[in-house]
């Protein structure tokens, strides 16, 4: 997008076309205005339009341009935070509520895909959280125990079964989460856009919001081409929203993350690597992730940005690491590469913010945007439809708090990932 091959890589090359959209021109009115056509905004628009509510999305570029179109494509349940920690962070009531809400989130994603016939390579075969060493095995074992205590369909695999399912590697075990799966993330965003438009929503592309004001009880949003008046406002662009809601970005520490994809692999290799179609990520702090796409390309990623000298460092590491896990891929390189940014909050949990009368949003997905964004968008729609009051939301309303040393932490994560990848997997 925007003639940048490093923005969306394989996903842009393999996704079905985006809907034909125009920029906002002149003065328009709607009941609900949404900023950003990512998962949250598109899900909110879809559910509002299905209920007969007038809703308009203003998107700076096109649906899925931000994190929605750049991520790995893992549809996970829950968050990074251990289940037993949520009551400590949110209180017993909200902790239990968020666990149930996000534990069921993948099923909502796959239900929407099926209900609307979205062409997005959805595979509901689970994910594997791969344990590296004894420490990693202890982590996934504890996570398994905590989820099983809540009735979640998860199981711990031993090293042998893990190797069989992965097709390589020397992992000490893995947590298999049957609730989860994979998806083509940009295709899913575009599919949601098509479904929302079909239901009656209006989406304007190339319409960055440059200003927001109040006109009586209404909100007025300005773009280069026009104005939009609305009774309700949902700022749903999260870490890509610094122009009009900079406080949302200031609350998050940005973590860069890249992906690279191989060419389509020969059938024999495709059958041996991830034969069950699970998506994977591992336990180290500088984690790695990999999964197969529909055509048989291996998508391999980790923490880091593809800029300057970092790009060569991360590419060289990714090749070493991929070949170490999958020696059968010796001689296979990468065909595409791209990167984006993950917004991390102080406690690794999302936020619910209210920005004034009839203006609210969820944000800060900490690398878990697909399933949470989908169900949080639906929750926002239900609130506007008077079906879900604020006090019944899965998160409490909180004030925005600026993250400490966020720029320094971004530089630290980027440099640390580069150093880690420079020295690791050389033997």
Flag whether 204 is in a domain. yes
Query: The tokens 């890589």 sit on which residue?
Result: 9
Q: Which pLDDT score is estimated for 216? A: 95
Q: Which pLDDT score is estimated for 200? A: 98
- In degrees, rounded to 5, the angle at the alpha carbon of residue 425 between the alpha carbons of residues 423 and 427 is 100
Q: For residue 190, what are the contacts with CB-CB under 8 A and spacing of at least 6? A: 15, 16, 17, 18, 19, 63, 64, 120
CA distance 426 to 277: 28
pLDDT in tens, 268-315: 999 999 999 999 999 998 999 999 999 999 999 999 999 888 999 999
Flag whether 185 is in a domain. yes
Share of the chain above pLDDT 90, in %: 87
Q: Which pLDDT score is estimated for 426? A: 64
Mean pLDDT of the chain: 95
Here the CATH number for the domain that contains residue 326 is 3.50.50.60
Residue 133 Rama label (left phi>0; alpha psi -120 to 50; beta)? left
pTM over cut 0.85: yes
Flag whether 408 is in a domain. yes
pLDDT in tens, the chain (427 residues): 888 989 999 999 999 999 999 999 999 999 999 999 999 999 999 999 999 999 999 999 999 999 999 999 999 999 989 999 999 999 999 999 999 999 999 999 999 999 999 999 999 999 999 999 999 999 999 999 999 999 999 999 999 999 999 999 999 999 999 999 999 999 999 999 999 999 999 999 999 999 999 999 999 999 999 999 999 999 999 988 778 888 998 999 989 999 999 999 999 999 999 999 999 999 998 999 999 999 999 999 999 999 888 999 999 999 999 999 999 999 999 999 999 989 999 999 999 999 999 999 999 999 999 999 999 999 999 999 999 999 999 999 999 998 887 787 777 777 788 888 988 876 5
Domain total in the chain: 1
Phi, psi of 276 (to 5 degrees): -85, -5
Q: Which long-range contacts (CB under 8 A, 24 or more apart) does 282-288 make?
A: 282/129, 282/130, 282/131, 282/132, 282/136, 282/171, 283/129, 283/130, 283/131, 283/132, 283/135, 283/136, 283/139, 283/140, 284/132, 284/136, 286/416, 286/417, 286/420, 286/421, 288/321
Query: The tokens 């992730």 sit on which residue?
Result: 289
CA distance 129 to 113: 24
Flag whether 155 is in a domain. no
Report the SS3 class of residue 350: coil
Q: Which pLDDT score is estimated for 242? A: 78
Distance of CA 278 to the CA centre of its chain: 17
Q: For residue 269, what are the contacts with CB-CB under 8 A and spacing of at least 6? A: 296, 328, 329
- In degrees, rounded to 5, the angle at the alpha carbon of residue 242 between the alpha carbons of residues 236 and 246 is 95
Handedness of CA 374, 377, 381, 382 (dihedral sign): positive
Q: Which of 59, 79, 45, 43 is nearest to 205 (CA)?
A: 59
Range of the domain at 61: 5-126+179-423
Which run of H or E residues covers position 222? strand 218-223
Kindly report the length of the chain: 427
Flag whether 131 is in a domain. no
Flag whether 283 is in a domain. yes
Flag whether 206 is in a domain. yes
Q: For residue 119, what are the contacts with CB-CB under 8 A and spacing of at least 6? A: 16, 187, 191
Flag whether 187 is in a domain. yes
**DSSP-assigned letter for residue 286:** S
Based on DSSP, count helices (H) and strands (E) in the chain, helices before strands: 13, 18
């Amino acid at each position: 997008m925007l003639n940048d091959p490093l923005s969306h890589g394989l996903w842009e090359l393999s996704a079905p076309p985006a809907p034909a959209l125009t920029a906002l021109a002149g003065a328009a009115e709607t009941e609900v205005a949404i900023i950003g056509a990512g998962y949250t905004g598109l899900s909110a628009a879809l559910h509002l339009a299905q209920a007969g509510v007038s809703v308009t999305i203003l998107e700076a570029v096109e649906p899925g341009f931000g994190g929605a179109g750049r991520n790995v494509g893992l549809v996970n349940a829950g968050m990074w935070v251990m289940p037993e920690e949520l009551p400590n962070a949110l209180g017993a009531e909200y902790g239990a509520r968020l666990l149930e809400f996000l534990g069921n989130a993948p099923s909502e994603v796959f239900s929407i895909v099926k209900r609307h016939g979205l062409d997005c390579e959805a595979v509901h075969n689970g994910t594997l959280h791969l344990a590296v060493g004894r420490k990693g095995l202890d982590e996934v074992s504890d996570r398994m125990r905590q989820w099983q205590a809540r009735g979640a369909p998860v199981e711990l695999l031993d090293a042998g079964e893990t190797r069989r399912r992965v097709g390589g590697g020397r992992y000490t075990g893995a947590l298999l989460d049957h609730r989860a799966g994979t998806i083509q993330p940009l295709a899913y965003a575009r599919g949601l856009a098509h479904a929302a438009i079909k239901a009656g929503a209006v989406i304007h592309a190339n319409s960055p919001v440059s200003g927001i004001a109040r006109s009586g009880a209404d909100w007025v949003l300005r773009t280069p081409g026009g104005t939009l008046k609305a009774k309700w406002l949902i700022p749903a662009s999260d870490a890509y929203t610094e122009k009009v809601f900079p406080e949302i970005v200031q609350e998050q520490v940005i973590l860069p993350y890249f992906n690279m994809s191989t060419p389509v692999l020969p059938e024999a290799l495709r059958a041996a690597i991830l034969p069950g179609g699970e998506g994977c990520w591992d336990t180290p702090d500088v984690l790695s992730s990999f999964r197969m796409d529909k055509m048989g390309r291996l998508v391999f990623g980790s923490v880091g940005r593809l800029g300057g000298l970092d790009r060569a460092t991360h590419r060289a590491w990714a090749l070493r690491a991929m070949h170490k896990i999958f020696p059968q891929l010796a001689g296979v390189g990468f065909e595409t590469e791209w990167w984006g940014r993950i917004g991390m909050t102080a406690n690794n949990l999302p936020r619910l913010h209210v920005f004034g009368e009839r203006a609210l949003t969820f944000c800060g997905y900490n690398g878990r945007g697909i399933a949470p964004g989908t169900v949080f968008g639906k929750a926002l729609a239900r609130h506007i439809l008077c079906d879900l009051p604020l006090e019944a939301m899965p998160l409490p309303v909180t004030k925005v708090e600026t993250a400490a040393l966020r720029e320094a932490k971004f530089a630290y994560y980027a440099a640390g990932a580069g150093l880690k990848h420079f020295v690791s997997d050389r033997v």
